[in-house]
Amino acid sequence: MSDNLFSFPGESTGQDVGDFFGGAGGVAFTDLGSADEVENPFTKMTPPTEAPASGEAASVTPSPAPGQQAQDQLGTTQTPPPAAPPAVPASAETPKTPPAQTTEETNPLLAAMDLQEKKNAAKTAAPIFAQLPVFSYNGSEEPIENVDQTFEELRLAKADDFPEFDEAQSISWTVTYGKIVKNVATPRKTKIGNLKREIESSKEFMDALKKAADKRPKCIVKPKVTMQKKGECAYKGIFPRLADARASKKAISFIPAQDGRVYERRVTCAGEFITPTSSVRYLDDIRAGFAPALPLIPYSLMEQAVTLFRCLMDNGKGGCPLEALVHIYWDREEKRFFLYVPTQTVGKEFVDAVLDDDLLNDERYLHYADLHSHNDMPAEFSPTDDRDERANRVYMVMGRLNRYYPELSVRVCNGGHFCEISPAQVLEPMPEGDIPLAWLDRIKPAEDVTRRFLEAAA
pLDDT tens digits for range 174-188: 999 988 999 999 999
- What number is the average pLDDT over the span 292-305? 96
105 CB-contact burial (10 Å; exposed 0-12 / middle 13-18 / buried 19+):
exposed
Contact predicate 387/372, CB 8 Å: no
Distant-in-sequence, close-in-space partners of 31: CB < 8 Å, separation ≥ 6? 9, 85
Contact predicate 5/70, CB 8 Å: yes
C-alpha closest to that of 131 among 179, 203, 183, 193 = 193
Report if pTM > 0.85.
no
∠ at Cα 335 (332, 340), nearest 5°? 75
pLDDT tens digits for range 185-226: 999 999 999 999 999 888 888 888 878 787 788 899 999 887
pLDDT tens digits for range 88-108: 554 445 555 555 555 556 778
CA separation for the pair 40, 29 (Å, rounded): 14
pLDDT class of 323 with cuts at 50, 70, 90: very high
Mean pLDDT, the chain, integer: 78
CA 415 vs CA 36, 368, 380: distances in Å: 136, 15, 20
